[in-house]
Amino acid sequence: MRDSSRLSRRAVLGLTAAALPLSAAAPALAAPAATAIGGERLARRGLQVDGATAVPTKLLTARAWLVADGTTGEVLASFNAHQRLAPASTLKMLFADTVLKKFDRTEKYTVKDSDISDVPAGSSLVGIKAGITYTVEQLWQGVFLRSGNDAVHVLAHMNGGIAKTVAEMQAKARDLQALDTHVVSPDGFDHPGQLSSAYDLTLFARHGLRDPDFRGYCGTRVADFPAGGRKTFQIQNTDRLLTGAWGLKTYDGLIGVKNGYTSHAGNTFTGAATRDGRTLLVTVMHPVAGSNAVYEQTAALLDWGFTHGRAAQPVGALVKPLSEGGATASPAPAHGVGQAAAGAAGAPAKGPSATRLVEGAAGTAALLAAAGGFLLRRRRQGLAARAATGTRKPPAPRAAEPDPQEPPAPTDQGGGRHRR
């Protein structure tokens, strides 16, 4: 029996040949790349702004942010617009974009144990109980006001299940051209690989605000929620710029949209406000720790947009959905997923030259030929080790931690502590 750990001469030649076409294709890389989603400027790292001053950069500690005109779609300023980061509960905007119109708001549904048995431990909860009948409107109030993962899971099961809903959300993201977004769960809870960007979250908000129900839910401050029988308890929106909670003033003209917090994502927020007939959208992701920081920085960017932002020349645009005739564009280059962006403000992201790609192709071929035999010899050893120890499972998602200033939901009615 032949030793499968040895590379045949033909296999080595095949690996070498597989790397060589890179050098032949390298001259084409010098040609202009396809337009990135929203425009080439938005694919760059650092601050992007033209024609306007006084961007509050000293206050801004977020790893990514974006300011856009909600009517025209023009991006007035951005910082690492396409950096892929954990979205937390702001991903619920995409969930609403995907599922909201599937059920009439007056439709009633009696919750089963199986509808909420798969809600991740440590989730934010509005306090849904099996056996209680809710209207679809009440379920969406649970999603938007309390960021209830239990409400999300009930609606997802009504929609045919978690897997089906996740697949539909990913398809919706593709249609919206939110190509930085990878959906793992419908609720935004921490899962490995679940990512979005300031650009994509702003797309979700703009698309959602076109729907009167979406707009109404995200702008609702308080609502009465069923507790069983004829009893109810009051839930309050966790958007502090909307309610003025925890020492913050309400923001004049605020419409919504959605906030989020988990231990991995930190704080995220997309807000929209209207003044003098002009609507602005702002997304802020992962500011330096501080439970009010995401709101303070959003408010500062909205202030800038309503004043100095009037002089700004667009640095990009929020694109139209493909289903509405939007022109296709290529994804923005990755900025080092989950890592803070580096580089001077406004400087384009650095990349390898065509010459170095040619050199790299030749080096790749040599390395493949040299290392192939070693790797295959190690293969049998690895298989034996795994057989002895068992297959290693991926790490479980990190549980969300409560915002230290977030009040608990009323536990006597079954509400959970809010962890967005």
List, by residue number, the catalytic residues: 89, 92, 147
Unique residue bearing structure tokens 């919504």: 256
Q: Which residues of 257-278 are buried (b: 16+ CB within 10 A; e: fewer)?
A: bbbbbbebbbbbbbbbbebeeb
**Cα–Cα nearest to 44, from 318, 315, 285:** 315
The residues that bridge with 257 in the sheet, in sequence order, are 271
d(CA 305, CA 283): 12
d(CA 130, CA 221): 26
d(CA 56, CA 74): 19
Task: Please report how the helices 149-158 and 92-99 are oriented relative to each other, as an axis angle in degrees rounded to 10.
Answer: 30
As a whole number of Å, the CA-based R_g of the chain is: 24
The residues that bridge with 316 in the sheet, in sequence order, are 75
CA angle 55, 57, 60 (to 5 degrees): 120
The two structure tokens encoding residue 49: 């702004």
- DSSP, collapsed to helix, strand or coil, labels residue 95 as helix
Helix ranges restricted to H, 176-279: 198-209, 212-218, 240-243
Q: By the 8 A CB rule, do 267 and 259 touch?
A: yes
- 204-to-53, 150, 226 alpha-carbon distances in Å: 28, 21, 29
The residues that bridge with 360 in the sheet, in sequence order, are none
Q: Which residues of 7-46 are buried (b: 16+ CB within 10 A; e: fewer)?
A: beeeebeebbeebeebbeebeeeeeeeeebbbbbbbbbbb
d(CA 337, CA 362): 28
